[in-house]
Amino acid sequence: MTTSYLTPRLSDLSAAERPQERLVAHGARSLSDTELLAMVLRSGCQGRNVLSVASEILQQAGSLNGLLKWNDREFRKIKGVGNVKSLQLLTIVEICRRVRDRSPAVQPVFDSPDTVFAHMSNHCRDLEVEKFWTLCLNRKNRLIKAVEVTSGTASNSLVHPREVYREAIRHGASAVICVHNHPSGDPAPSAADIKVTRQLRGASEVVCIDLLDHIVIGSCENDPKGLGYYSFQEAGLL
């Protein structure tokens, strides 16, 4: 089935059908998903109005939530989305990801690997590179702040103990839990993971900040144990 690109110009639509006029008259909550996306795009292209472009994007993505998985290449496949619009959309998508992943007002108590996994899995979702976080905790193991320390390549992520404990000291942490992801989804630790954990354990004794755990996050589907994570503490390696 061939999609027709001969759509009416917005100026030919009634005010009740134009997103900007509806936004002014009734507020953002009155707009459909297509209309909200059209407001971001601002314009269409020859033969298609902006509502048609926005509608195709949502149709291809399945929903606004589906756009959180899109990259620049997928946006530019849509007729009417060039380089500039693609970058604008990617910016909006990243803002939405960060809002989704923001910490709750009451910070959690990290008293088990399950709790850490539940809190951090959103941060790791769909990542194609390894990232390493320091979870800075107070004396009651309540999160003070989660700090992204490094972002690696698709095959490795390097971290030095000074980077981990510098952040812990800066935020007045009594203890830390270290977390990093495996883009493959298999959380089994590598030789490098084991080595850096030993280094972190030794450094914790020097700076007198407890290393409670180092958790590798993957996915339940790719974990032979079905947990979705690997805990060095549970494995008896801390």
Q: What is the pLDDT of residue 17?
A: 77
CA angle, corner 89, sides to 181 and 57, nearest 5? Answer: 100
Q: Which residues contact 198 (CB under 8 A, 6 or more apart)?
A: none
Asked if residue 80 and residue 139 are part of one domain, the reply reads: no
Asked if residue 146 and residue 70 are part of one domain, the reply reads: no
Q: Which residues contact 83 (CB under 8 A, 6 or more apart)?
A: 76
Rounded Cα gap, residues 24 and 14, in angstroms: 14
Asked if residue 223 and residue 128 are part of one domain, the reply reads: yes
Chosen domain end from 101, 128, 162? 101
Asked if residue 75 and residue 127 are part of one domain, the reply reads: no
**Domain total in the chain:** 2
Asked if residue 119 and residue 94 are part of one domain, the reply reads: no
| Residue tagged 């801390």 (tokens) | 238
Residue 18 lies in a domain: yes
Residue 3 lies in a domain: no
Identify the bridge partners of residue 133 per DSSP, sorted by sequence position: 148, 179
Residue 212 lies in a domain: yes
Rounded Cα gap, residues 140 and 233, in angstroms: 18
Residue 44 pLDDT class (50, 70, 90 cuts): confident
pLDDT at 122 over 50: yes
Q: What is the pLDDT of residue 1?
A: 40
User: What does the pLDDT look like over 171-228, one tens digit per residue?
Assistant: 999 999 999 999 999 999 999 999 999 999 999 999 999 999 999 999 999 999 999 9
Residue 179 lies in a domain: yes
Asked if residue 65 and residue 43 are part of one domain, the reply reads: yes
Q: How many CB atoms lie within 10 A of CB 84?
A: 8
User: What does the pLDDT look like over 4-28, one tens digit per residue?
Assistant: 556 767 766 776 778 888 888 888 8
State percent of the chain over pLDDT 90.
58
Rounded Cα gap, residues 137 and 177, in angstroms: 8
CATH number of the domain to which 192 belongs: 3.40.140.10
pLDDT at 33 over 50: yes
Chosen domain end from 101, 130, 154? 101
Residue 92: domain span: 10-101
Residue 151 lies in a domain: yes
> What single letter denotes the amino acid at residue 175?
A
Asked if residue 167 and residue 82 are part of one domain, the reply reads: no
Residue 83: in which H helix or E strand, if any? helix 83-101
Residue 191 lies in a domain: yes
Asked if residue 199 and residue 91 are part of one domain, the reply reads: no
